């Protein structure tokens, strides 16, 4: 939680600097962003690949714990598409791409900047941060109404890290494994699905 | 955008080669964090310099909130039948 607050602060700092400081127009945002993004994806991949613990989890995956994140992915994308169609004035495709961030706000907004540009990226960023915050705050209520897997679904890709403490507290230790698999699978789907939807 | 996926897969492969190397894992984590900070800062710069965006933060905030609720409800509802079948007994 502290780390994501820090990242949020870095972003706000960037926005303030960008707003008040007159940056020369020769400054190439998109190519710098693309370079850093490709490096980030390589590093995230290397982090997952080199993690012994991740591999031990992968060995224990069964059909149900794999079906779970797939349903979360479909539900997120359809849910986002539906509310975009009902309440918002941009295309359903764009709404679905934001939904396909699955709570992974940094990666999803960065991928969306590359394909679509600033405004949708900002929406993706805020929306996926909100998903995280709402999950943490509503976890005890969700457990009561929709069962102990609801906070894991709600947390999406963050159920393996940022929302995991809340999940452990309100769902119990027996759901930690599912939460980690869920987060892992959804995190890995983000860079595949967003370009697929927006293209 | 195929580049994104290819780089990601290469990264996983590279990680697998150095599996279990704790020092390397810590270094990867450290560089990842620095890279992420830089990226978010540059993303912030590009958002901040677009005048139009800052003046409709209220609209963007509303849209983001609606989308967050939509994704949360969508995922919970779709998972619910699986919960009833496979997980309810564990509670």
- Is the per-residue pLDDT at A95 higher than 60? yes
pLDDT above 70: residue B90: no
Which range among A21-25, A65-69, B62-66 shows the weakest confidence by mean pLDDT?
A21-25
Closest partner residue to B49 (CB to CB) among A18, A43, A178 is A18
Q: Does A134 touch chain B (CB under 8 A)?
A: yes
> Mean pLDDT throughout A36-43?
86
Q: Which residue of B has its CA nearest to A41?
A: B8
The residue ranking higher by pLDDT, A132 or A5, is A132
Indicate the burial class of B16 (C-beta count within 10 angstroms; 0-12, 13-18, 19 or more): middle
Q: What is the mean pLDDT of chain A?
A: 89
- Whether pLDDT at B2 is above 70: no
Closest partner CB to A75 (pick from B19, B31, B78): B78
Considering only A167-171, B37-41, B46-50, which range has the smallest mean pLDDT?
A: B46-50
Alpha helices (H) in chain A, listed in sequence order:
2-20, 29-50, 52-60, 63-87, 92-99, 105-115, 118-146, 150-155, 164-171, 176-198
Q: Which of residues 154-193 of A touch B (CB under 8 A)?
A: 154, 156, 172, 174-175, 178, 188, 191-192
Show the 3-state SS of B21-39: CHHHHHHHHHHHHHHHHHH
Percent of chain B with pLDDT over 70: 96
Tokens at A14, concatenated = 């960037």
Number of residues in chain B: 91
Q: Identify the pLDDT of residue A141.
A: 94
Tokens 């007159």 appear where?
A22
Chain B environment of A69 (Cβ under 8 Å): none
Categorize the per-residue pLDDT at A69 as very low, low, confident or very high, splitting at 50, 70 and 90.
very high
Q: What is the mean pLDDT of residues A171-175?
A: 87
Q: Show Cβ contacts of residue B6 under 8 Å, excluding neighbours closer than 6 positions.
A: none
Cα(B5)–Cα(A114) distance, rounded to whole angstroms?
14
Lowest mean pLDDT among A48-52, A151-155, B7-11: A48-52
Question: Is 90 exceeded by the pLDDT of residue A127?
Answer: yes
- Rounded Cα gap, residues A121 and A113, in angstroms: 5
Give the mean pLDDT of chain B.
Answer: 86
pLDDT number for residue B91 = 52
- Whether pLDDT at B23 is above 80: yes
Q: Do A49 and B16 touch (CB under 8 A)?
A: yes
pLDDT value at A80 more than 70: yes
Q: What is the pLDDT of residue A101?
A: 96
Out of B11, B69, B77, name the one closest to residue A41 (CB): B11
* CB spacing of A45 vs B8 below 8 angstroms: yes
Q: Is A24 at the interface with chain B, CB within 8 A?
A: no
Tens digit of each residue's pLDDT (9 = 90 or more) over B29-47:
899 889 888 988 988 888 8
Given this model, what pLDDT does residue B44 score? 84
Report the pLDDT value the prediction gives residue B84, as an integer from 0 to 100.
93
Query: What was the pLDDT predicted at A162?
Result: 82
Is A36:B35 a contact under the CB 8 Å cutoff? yes
Mean pLDDT of B41-67: 86
**A/B interface, count of CB pairs below 8 Å:** 294
- Continuous segment of H or E residues that includes residue B70: helix B57-82
Mean pLDDT of A164-184: 89
CA atoms within 13 A on the CB side of B1: 17
């Amino acid at each position: 939680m502290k780390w994501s607050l820090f990242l949020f602060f870095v972003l706000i700092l960037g926005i303030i600097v960008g707003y008040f400081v007159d940056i020369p127009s020769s400054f190439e945002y998109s190519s710098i962003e693309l370079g850093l993004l490709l490096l980030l994806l390589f590093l995230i991949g290397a982090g997952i690949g080199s993690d012994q613990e991740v591999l031990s989890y992968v060995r224990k995956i069964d059909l149900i714990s794999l079906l779970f994140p797939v349903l979360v992915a479909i539900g997120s994308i359809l849910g986002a598409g539906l509310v975009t169609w009902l309440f918002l004035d941009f295309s359903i495709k764009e709404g679905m791409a934001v939904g396909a961030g699955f709570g992974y706000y940094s990666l999803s907004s960065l991928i969306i900047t590359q394909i679509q540009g600033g405004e949708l990226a900002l929406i993706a960023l805020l929306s996926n941060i909100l998903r995280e915050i709402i999950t943490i705050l509503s976890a005890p209520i969700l457990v009561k109404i929709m069962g102990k897997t609801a906070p894991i679904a709600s947390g999406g890709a963050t159920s393996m890290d940022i929302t995991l403490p809340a999940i452990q507290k309100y769902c119990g230790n027996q759901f930690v494994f599912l939460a980690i698999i869920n987060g892992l699978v959804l995190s890995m789907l983000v860079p595949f699905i967003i370009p697929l939807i927006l293209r | 955008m195929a580049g994104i996926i290819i780089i990601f897969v290469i990264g996983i492969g590279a990680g697998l080669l150095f599996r279990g190397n704790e020092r390397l894992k810590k270094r990867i984590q450290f560089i990842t964090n620095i890279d992420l900070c830089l990226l978010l800062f540059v993303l912030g710069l590009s958002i901040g310099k677009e005048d139009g965006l800052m003046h409709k933060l209220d609209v963007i905030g509303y849209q983001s909130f609606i989308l967050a609720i939509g994704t949360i409800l969508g995922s919970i509802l779709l998972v619910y039948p699986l919960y009833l079948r496979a997980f309810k007994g564990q509670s």
